[in-house]
Each structure stands twice: as structure tokens, then as C-alpha cells.
Amino acid sequence: MNIKESIIKATTELIEEKVGDLSAVTSRAIAERSGAALGLINYHFGSKDKLIEMCVQRIANKILFCFYSDEDMGEDTAEQEKVLRRAQKVFDFFFSNKAIARTFILGDLREYRIKSNTGAVQSGLKLAMSSVSNEKRRLLAFILTSVMETAFLTGDSSYDVLGYHLDNKLERDLFLAETVEMVYRGVQ
């Protein structure tokens, strides 16, 4: 393994060990774990923050990839229900991994790429949609992803902004059910 991959591996391990507490992932800890000189972090990645952002993207991408199987849904599950279940999995991931989710959402907002985690969420939602045209599918996935990411970023103000306490799973599910219903009603 080359030094750059050793640094990435060490950083990813530290992020996972610290359960997303990114402030606990220091350059010194990364250097010690990877066996690399401290200066190589900036040399290869520009900054510790850019390195962490890249590693968070990789972690989130791995996790988000597993959300897109329909194993938990029967053939007779309605499309809107499939979309809702996928959205709930993503939203639950956000709230269970707040530091990782915030880092990947803000990173994607700074520099959106099709192969970003936001793009993966959009693709996963599109896969559950079959009754609408491809153009509308893209728009619906974009709208739902944007709503989830923006709602997540409201943080402790979610009740004041949206009328839902999003840290509460029942209210979060209700928020998504109503949002998906509104989006689908608008398509009909």
C-alpha cells in the first residue's frame, strides 16, 4: 500500500472509531496511525479538512450503496412506498451519523459531482420510480434529496422551521411521508 492510501486508511479508521466526532481526528493521530510524516497530509491532500472530507465521502458512499436493494420490499409494494422507504433509510442514516452526514452534504454543496453521495441518494431514489418519465424521475429525486438534506441541516431549529422535531423518528417518518405524498400528488 502506498503512503497516500495508508493516510486515507488511517483517517477512515479514526473517523469510524470516533463515531463521526471529526474534531477528535487530529493530524498527529493520522500521521501516527499511517506511519507517514505529518507534512505528507498537506502535501497529498492540501489540508487535513480536505482529507477528512474525502474519507467521509467514501464512508457515506459505502453506507448509502447498501440502501438501494429492494430486499425488504415485495413485488407488490407500491412505488410511492418504495420511494418513501428508501428516503427513510437515508434520512435515518443522516440522523444516526450527524457529523458524517453534515460533512458529506456540505462538501457536495460546495462542489457537486454526479458521483457524489448526494448523487448516490438521487440515483437510489430514481431506481424506485418507474411510473414517471425519466425527466420527472430526475426532478423528483432531486427535490426529495434537496428537501432531506436541507431539513437535516436545520438541526435543532427543525421544529421552528418545519413544524417537526426531526430528531424524533416518528416525526421524521411523518415529515417524509407527507413530503413524498405532496411530491407524488404534484406529478399526477
Q: Which residues contact 97 (CB under 8 A, 6 or more apart)?
A: 20, 60, 63
User: How confident is residue 69, by pLDDT bands cut at 50, 70 and 90?
Assistant: low
User: How far, CA to CA in Å, does 19 sit from each of 30, 37, 82?
Assistant: 15, 25, 29
For 118-154, write each residue's pLDDT tens digit: 888 898 899 889 888 998 999 999 999 999 999 999 9
From 4-18, 60-74, 113-127, the region with the lowest mean pLDDT:
60-74
Give the global pTM.
Answer: 0.78
Contact indicator for 99, 60 with CB cutoff of 8 Å = no
